[in-house]
Amino acid sequence: MSIYIRNIVIIIVALMFCSDIMAQSTNIKGVIFDTKNNSLPGANIYIEGTYDGASSDANGKFSFTTNETGKHVLKVDYIGYESFRKEVELTGKEVYIEPNLNESFNQLNAVTIIAGVFEASETKKAVVLKSLDIVTTAGALGDISGALQTLPGTSTIGESGRLFVRGGHSGETQTYIDGTLVHEPYTTSAPNTAVRGRFNPFMFSGTVFSTGGYSAEYGQALSSVLLLRTNGLQQEDQLDISIMSIGTGVAGTKLWESGAVTASFDYMNLTPYMQLVPQNINWNKYPQSYNGAISVRQKTGKSGLLKTYITFDKSSFSLDQEDPDYLPGITNNNIDNQYLYFNTSWLGTLNDKWSLKTGVSTTGNLDNNGLGFGDYYGQLHGANAKIALANQISEKIKIRFGTEYFYKYSSVKYDNEPCSVHYLLNFTSNMIAVFTEADIYASNKFVTRLGGRYEYSDYLKKYNFAPRISAAYKIDDKSQFSLAYGLFFQDPANEYLIYTNRLDFERANHFILNYQTIKENRTFRAEVYYKDYFNLVKYRLTDHLVPTDHNNTGSAYAYGLDIFWRDRKTIRNGDYWISYSYIDTKRNFRDYPGEAIPGFVSKHNFSLVYKHWIGALRSQCGFTLKYSSPRCYNDPNRADFNSELMTPYRTLNVNWSFLYRQNVIIYASISNVTGFKQQYGYNYASFANDEGFYESVPVIPDAKRFYFIGCFITLTKSGEANQLDKLE
């Protein structure tokens, strides 16, 4: 009997225990959202340490039952978002949650600062241009600076050819290659004749053009910087042959297991061309040049890359120019120039947290200008050495800091035997700089960059400190705002320093607000800015050679709007971009009698670039249309300074690339095909004649149009490569 009683008791206890378990069963349900209250399907919801859980449905809803009791942690996981954890007490009562998941941080998807920056790259998703765009723009004639003049923020100055950015003079833009400074980045020319950039675009794979507000790593530039990155490693050996109407060139690349070398040589002789095409200039010797470049890339260790880049150039020409200052009204310019630039750099990681970038560059430039009434010799030697470290302190904080050294020697020698005028002027400058910068991500949507730069010049015996701050906020996956503020300093121009060191750094403040959206191969970008200048150099023209008459009392301001639109979707096989800039600026510097609009600024600048691939003709054709409103110039016969207006700048450039074979391209282009008349003001005599009138001669282009035709042949083992991506 006792056995039966015992079994009954066991059964009763077991039933009571099961009843208790059933009573403790808890239903957990809810909906999973992101921070914008969008439901998230496929999220995993579970109780930590158990197998109890579920996945959210298409509407973000979920529901599951658990027999666990007491306090437990409920966790929600979703790819691309931070995990959600919440402590809940399971008592049998239903648990309901509606968590809002925060997007997890990922620097690859995070917002990037773009205020003032146009970047051409093949790897970054946020850029508005590709490397290809820099060299396939009609009218650029293979010149990087020429292509950049189709972007907002620039003014086209036909008699110069240099980059003038947002009211700044061309000397306020500096060029860097692989992080180190380039002195004299433009070719030598006679007065009022356009120059070109010295560097072969074939040698570069990346370009960053900053119209202001740039990183604290770069200094000695009041307005903007142009950053060029030499090529990395290619896929195969290659030989390029160029046969052109203005000369010939050859370039070759040889690869090995962990490196490559590329060498190029070009010979340009415009004699046959200029004898056929009418010129506005009386040439005594047509332009000729020899130039070449060597680029060596070598992998080091697991992540390092050592680069060495050398380019040289030798050019000469002779021409007669009308000059109202001299009888019989003609000045002869016999110009010879020699140039050498050397750069070596190393970039790599030291460990999981640290990376290192270092480089050294040297520049040598020698000008010999026989003026007919005297000989002018100009010499410049420059060097720059930099070392920069970067540390990924945490997932959301990265710091960069470093130091660099600048050396500059400049001399001018002038000999005029008939007038017994001889002088030699020179100066040597050494400068040290340190910089630091931190990128701080609050989230994928917001980043702030804080930095500063310190410089000291032993020649000026002055120092400066330039704080920089910029930030960006991502509205959504397609759009963002960026802003930037900073102080920027620069040495006075060499033409002033050679007379005196009793000067201070020139200074500019930048304020920039940017909006950009990129959606379905369409890009819209708008940017407003304000710049004010202090400590600009002023002098009295009649006493230009007197050191005490140079001072830093000059000032200026500039503000404006830049708009950029690019569309690679609407027109099949077509690609175009439109740029527009508005600027209001005035300066009181140099020999200006007061505040005035400088002669190197157009209030309105417009450009339209179009490219189209015609498959049936195996051709890529394109055109560039540019317009700039009239610029000011000064007529000393008028009472008001800089009160006269030039004719507006207008040009239509066209080009055509015909793929004769996969590796053979026939290319042709015409600049100013419609023959718009260009005139860049007048060159006035320094002194009035007997009637009190200042005589003048017009400043006009070398020729009304420029024609180019060439054949470009590429030889590789595969036979697939060509130079279509390198033609202007």
Decide if 2-101 and 117-726 have a common fold: no
Averaged pLDDT, 621-640: 94
Check pLDDT > 60 for residue 698. Answer: yes
pLDDT of residue 712: 87
C-alpha 627/C-alpha 608 separation (Å) is 9
Binned at pLDDT 50, 70 and 90, residue 457 comes out as: very high
The whole model's pTM is what? 0.83
Exposure letters 141-175 (e unless 16+ CB within 10 A, then b):
bbbbbbbbbbbbbbbbbbbbbbbbbbbbbbbbbbb
pLDDT digits (tens, 9 = 90+) for 538-589: 987 654 466 678 899 999 999 999 999 999 899 999 999 999 999 999 999 9
- Name residue, tokens 């001399």: 411
DSSP track, 105-148: P-TTTS----TTEEEE-SS-TT-SB-HHHHTS-TT-TT-HHHHH
CA angle 523/526/529 to nearest 5° reads 150
Which CATH architecture does the domain made up of 2-101 adopt? Sandwich (2.60)
Burial classification of residue 269, based on how many CB atoms lie within 10 Å of its CB (0-12 exposed, 13-18 middle, 19 or more buried): middle
Averaged pLDDT, 173-198: 88
pLDDT of residue 665: 87
Locate the domains of the chain by residue range: 2-101, 117-726
Number of neighbours of residue 502 by Cβ within 10 angstroms: 12
Residue 59 is which amino acid? Answer: N
> Which residues in 442-549 belong to E strands, given as ranges?
446-457, 462-474, 479-490, 506-519, 522-539
Please name the residues in contact with 424: beta carbons below 8 A apart, sequence gap of 6 or more: 411, 412, 413, 414
User: For residue 496, which phi and psi values (nearest 5 degrees)?
Assistant: -95, -40
**Cβ–Cβ under 8 Å, residues 100 and 33:** yes
Check pLDDT > 60 for residue 9. Answer: no
pLDDT of residue 19: 46
Binned at pLDDT 50, 70 and 90, residue 529 comes out as: very high
pLDDT digits (tens, 9 = 90+) for 37-83: 888 998 999 998 888 899 999 889 999 999 888 899 999 988 878 88
Please name the residues in contact with 2: beta carbons below 8 A apart, sequence gap of 6 or more: none
- Alpha helices, H only, 561-646: none
pLDDT digits (tens, 9 = 90+) for 285-342: 999 999 999 999 999 988 889 999 999 999 999 988 888 877 667 778 889 999 999 9
pLDDT digits (tens, 9 = 90+) for 408-417: 999 988 777 6
Of 525, 228, 183, nearest in space to 364 by CA: 183
Strand partners, 223: none
- Name residue, tokens 């390198």: 726
Residue 2, classed as helix, strand or coil, is helix
Which CATH architecture does the domain made up of 117-726 adopt? Beta Barrel (2.40)
pLDDT of residue 660: 87
